Amino acid sequence: MDASWLIPLAPGLSAFLLIIFGRSLSRRLVTWLACGSVAVAFSFSLLSALRLRAAAGSVPYPARILLSWIRAGDFRADISFRFDPLAAVMVLVVTGVGLLIHVYSTGYMAREKGYARYFAALNLFTFSMLILVLASNFILMFVGWEGVGLCSYLLIGFWFEKPAAAKAGMKAFLVNRIGDAGFLLGILVLLFAVGSAEFSAVDQAVSGGAIAKSTATLAALLLFAGATGKSAQIPLHVWLPDAMEGPTPVSALIHAATMVTAGVYMVARMNALYAFSGTAAGVVAAVGAFTAVFAATIALVQNDIKRILAYSTISQLGYMFLGCGVGAYAAGIFHLVTHAFFKSLLFLAAGSVMHALSGELDIRRMGGLRHRLPLTYTAFLIGTLAIAGIPLFSGFFSKDAILSAAYAGGHRLLWAAGLLGAVLTAFYMFRLVFLAFHGGERTTPEVRDRIHESPSSMTVPLLILSGLAAMAGWIGIPAVLGEKADLLRRFLAPVIPVIRTPHAGSSSEWFLILTATSAAGLGLGLAWLFYQRWPGLPARFAAWCPGLHKILLKSYGVDEIYQAVLVRPLVGASELTYRRFDLGLIDGAVNGAGAATRFAGRLAASLQTGRIKDYALGFLLGTTIFLAWILL
């Protein structure tokens, strides 16, 4: 029996129960409900994926219509799921990593008073994310798309007593909405051009030539605007670093492993459209490559452990888009999967560090932690080896897949950018490791006395994720090492045709593996020189070019620019509208009420303030404008 449509059910139900009854349930029950529901979803995902694998290639993947939603003449949208290999990979990541993070959260959030509220939002998030990846049409995908945004907002602002957290939540939400506006317009364009919002219909229109190239490009670019918002790509990347104000498990689940990858998933899902457009794919690749380097340079100088990881996430998402943009959609998804493992591992390990150090985030006040937190250190090190692309760890394979595709497709510039990003990645990650876990202890004495390894509810997920981060690369071994070894690509082949993925020859493949390895080695070596061998070097570099250092510390000042160019004018316009149309009226009313109690007196008073006259004037003005309009 096909049980894939049941996957979102349990988290959704649990979220509903927790929202309504959460405050009256015991913590124990909340824990079991929240984790149990995700465990159920994971089992269903696993069963469905195995079933899919057994029946590989024999069936097309029909959309399962759960509910006929809107049928209005030519417009039609259903609540329907399609469980194909791509969706299978995504639900496994969402429920699998999600389950581990739910378990971790029970330890990390144990002393929070909003325990039930936290898990309600986390379950609701899981539910929405599953809707997003299982949807068989854009309208339903948009439902999930907005849902995950909302939950992300709720969880970033979880500690709403902290003004920074509340502000960060709002910022994330509004920046995302800008992208969403593009996304919605993209859907409208496709709907107009294709007549249906079903993914399969769009694919058919593309392959059947029923859609003009320019229209396809427009739609693809508008959809990509949505992806830049959700997946924090330039120019809409500004919300993700601030989103680190949320609890660390949330950063791991939503802002590293799942939600932020929704944009990559969408592009991979629409691979036919992007490949057909060409231009749009080029834009995706360029934005991805640029973001990968851009964010990595910022991460070089940050001192907040979570912010470093946040910029690293932005950079790694850039790699995924680079992969999709050069036509290696499977490689993009491959990196999505490995990144989900190693980045959530890094975040959870960072959370474990914070837990031990009473909430310390600044790596300048850490140091020497490897002796005190051996388990956490091991986990963090494995994550770092994976993300830096050290051979045999998962990140190596997925990054190599992307870079070799860029090279083979003839995009030498993009390939070089990716390589540069790889050096930077290895550098900033090992900088983090050396500063936080090696060297002398720079923690304050009172913090030092209370350092302790985390409870098992937190360390067990770390162990499992360490295993995955180390080994997950083996699902995508490059062709040069074995003809049929590339499991993931073959699994995805029905959705992402292999033809679209260019291959390099055997010798150049070896050359690419070597360059990628040297890049990682170079970054590692430089970090060792800077932070182990000669610790005075970074300060001298900063003094050598203070301007550059400052710009990097300020993240290129993008926030300030947006503030000046977008936010302030908007606030100003609102202020103006408010003053012109609203404030005077309140003043008038207050003055009126204060000055005279009798009706006639007050009427006169309000007439004297001129407000009513103003209204009539506005009215007259409108009509006059119209008259002028038709007379001219």
Partner 1 sequence: MTLPTAVFPLAVTAFGAIAVLLLDAFGKRDSKTPLAVLSLMILAASAVLAGRLWGRSAFGFGGLMRLDDAAILVSMIVLLAAAFTVLLGWQWNRRLDAAFGEFYGLLLLAAAGLMIMAQTADLLVVFLGLEVFSVSAYGLTGLKRNDDKASEAAVKYFLIGSFAGAFMVFGLAILFGLNESFGITQTAACLGTGLPAQLGFGFLLAGLGFKLALVPFHMWAPDVYEGAPTPIAGFFSIAPKAAGFLVLSRLVAAVPKDVWKGLPIFPFLYAVAAATLIIGNLAALRQKNLKRLLAYSSISHAGTMLIAVLAGDGASLLFYLAVYLFMGLGAFAALTAMSAPGREYVHLDDFAGAGFRYPWIGAIFTVLLLSLAGFPPTGGFLAKFLVFSAGVRAGLVPLVVLGVVTSLIAVAYYLRVIVAMYMRDPAPGVDIEAENPPALLVLFLGLVGVLQLGLFPANILHFIRQAAASIF
Question: Are 66 and 28 spatial neighbours (Cβ–Cβ below 8 Å)?
Answer: no
Restricted to residues 367-386, the positions that interact with partner 1 (CB under 8 A) are: none
Task: Write down the least CB distance from residue 65 to partner 1, Å.
Answer: 12
Residue 51 burial by Cβ neighbours in a 10 Å radius (0-12, 13-18, 19+): middle
Residue from 99, 129, 151, 184 in contact with partner 1 (CB under 8 A): 184
Least distance from C-beta 177 to partner 1, angstroms? 4
Interface with partner 1, residue 626, by CB under 8 A: yes
Stretch in the footprint of partner 1 (CB under 8 A) among 186-194, 206-214, 438-446, 462-470: 186-194
66 scored as a contact of partner 1 (CB under 8 A)? no
Q: Tokens 């939002």 sit at which residue?
A: 121
In the list 13, 150, 463, 551, the residue contacting partner 1 (rule: CB under 8 A) is 150
- Helix, strand, or coil here: 80? strand
Binding status of residue 630 toward partner 1 by CB under 8 A? yes
Based on the shown chain and the rule CB under 8 A, indicate whether residue 212 belongs to the binding site for partner 1.
no
Q: How far is the CB of 97 from partner 1 (least distance, A)?
A: 25
Nearest to 534 by CA among 443, 439, 442, 428: 439
Q: Which of 57, 60, 73, 208 binds partner 1 (CB under 8 A)?
A: 73
Residue 534 binds to partner 1 (criterion: CB under 8 A): no
- Say how far residue 95 (Cα) sits from the centre of its chain: 16
Name 530's Cβ contacts closer than 8 Å, sequence gap at least 6: 427, 431, 537, 538, 541
Give least dist CB 169 to partner 1, A: 8
Q: Which of 285, 269, 275 is nearest to 318 (CA)?
A: 285
Mention every residue, 6+ apart, whose C-beta is less than 8 A from residue 583: none
Stretch that binds partner 1, among 165-173, 257-265, 463-471, 556-564 (CB under 8 A): 165-173
Q: Are 8 and 64 in contact (CB under 8 A)?
A: no
Beta carbon of residue 138, minimum distance to partner 1 (angstroms, whole number) = 11
β-partners of residue 80 are 65
Of 63, 181, 447, 553, which one interacts with partner 1 (CB under 8 A)? 181
Residue 592 within binding range of partner 1, rule CB under 8 A:
yes
The nearer residue to partner 1, 235 or 521, going by C-beta atoms, is 235
**For partner 1, which is the closer residue by CB, 177 or 370?**
177
Q: Rounded to 5 degrees, what angle do the CA atoms 48, 52, 56 make? A: 175
What secondary structure does DSSP assign to 155-209, as a single string? HHTSSTTSHHHHHHHHHHHHHHHHHHHHHHHHHHHHHHHHS--BHHHHHHHHHTT
Of 118, 111, 119, 143, whose CA–CA distance to 129 is shortest?
Answer: 143
DSSP element (H, E) containing 560: helix 558-562
The reply on whether position 164 binds partner 1 by CB under 8 A is no
CA–CA dist 68, 163 (Å, integer): 44
Least distance to partner 1 from the beta carbon of 180, Å? Answer: 7
- Is residue 247 a contact residue for partner 1 (CB under 8 A)? no
Is position 72 an interface residue for partner 1 (rule: CB under 8 A)? yes
Q: Shortest approach of partner 1 to residue 193 CB, angstroms?
A: 10
Cα 293 to Cα 299: distance, rounded to the nearest angstrom: 10
- Phi then psi dihedrals of residue 68, to 5 deg: -80, 115
Nearer to partner 1, 153 or 430 (CB): 153
Stretch in the footprint of partner 1 (CB under 8 A) among 239-247, 260-268, 387-395, 592-600: 592-600
Choosing from 96, 157, 351, 461, the residue that interacts with partner 1 (CB under 8 A) is: 157
Considering the complex, what minimum distance in angstroms separates the CB of residue 578 from partner 1?
A: 4
Amino acid at 54: A
Range in contact with partner 1 (rule: CB under 8 A) among 93-101, 207-215, 519-527, 618-626: 618-626
Asked if 618 is part of the footprint of partner 1 (rule: CB under 8 A), the reply reads yes
Token look-up 């399962």 returns 64
Minimum distance of partner 1 from residue 626's CB (angstroms): 5
In the list 32, 69, 528, 562, the residue contacting partner 1 (rule: CB under 8 A) is: 69
Q: Binders of partner 1 among 4-23, rule CB under 8 A?
A: 19-20, 23
CB of 356 to partner 1, least distance (A): 29
142 contributes a contact to partner 1 by CB under 8 A: yes
Out of 8, 12, 85, 147, the only residue in the binding site for partner 1 (CB under 8 A) is 147
Among 118, 173, 274, 491, which residue interacts with partner 1 (rule: CB under 8 A)? 173
Token pair listed for 542: 């900063």
DSSP string computed for 488-544:
HHHHHTTTS-GGGS----HHHHHHHHHHHHHHHHHHHHHHHIIIII-TTHHHHHHHH
Burial letters 262-297, b for 16+ CB under 10 A, else e: bbbbbbbbbbbbbbbbeebbbbbbbbbbbbbbbbbb
What is the amino acid identity at position 605?
A
Is 25 an interacting residue with respect to partner 1 (CB under 8 A)? Answer: no
From 207-215, 424-432, 505-513, 590-598, span contacting partner 1 (CB under 8 A):
590-598
| Contact call for residue 146 and partner 1 (CB under 8 A) | yes
Q: Which stretch binds partner 1 (CB under 8 A): 34-42, 183-191, 380-388, 450-458?
A: 183-191
For helices 115-134 and 27-54, angle between their N-to-C axes, nearest 10 degrees: 20
**Contact status: 178 vs partner 1 (CB under 8 A):** yes
Told to check if 118 binds partner 1 by CB under 8 A, we report: no
According to the binding rule CB under 8 A, does residue 185 interact with partner 1? yes
Structure tokens at 554: 């300020």
CB of 591 to partner 1, least distance (A): 11
Is 574 a binding residue for partner 1 by CB under 8 A? The answer is yes
Instruction: Output Rg (C-alpha) for the chain, integer angstroms.
Output: 27
**Contact 396/520 with Cβ under 8 angstroms?**
yes
The Cβ of residue 98 has, within 10 Å, a number of other Cβ atoms equal to 29
User: Is the Cα torsion angle 14, 176, 296, 512 positive or negative in sign?
Assistant: positive
**In the complex, least distance from residue 597 CB atom to partner 1, rounded to whole angstroms:** 7
Q: Nearest distance from residue 14's CB to partner 1, in Å?
A: 16
Q: Which stretch binds partner 1 (CB under 8 A): 7-15, 141-149, 321-329, 361-369?
A: 141-149
Give me the residues that bind partner 1 (CB under 8 A), please: 19-20, 23, 67-73, 75, 79, 139, 142-143, 146-147, 150, 153, 157, 160, 166, 170, 173-174, 177-178, 180-181, 184-185, 188-189, 191-192, 570, 573-575, 577-578, 581-582, 585, 589, 592-593, 597, 599, 602-603, 606, 611-612, 614-616, 618-619, 621-623, 626-627, 629-631
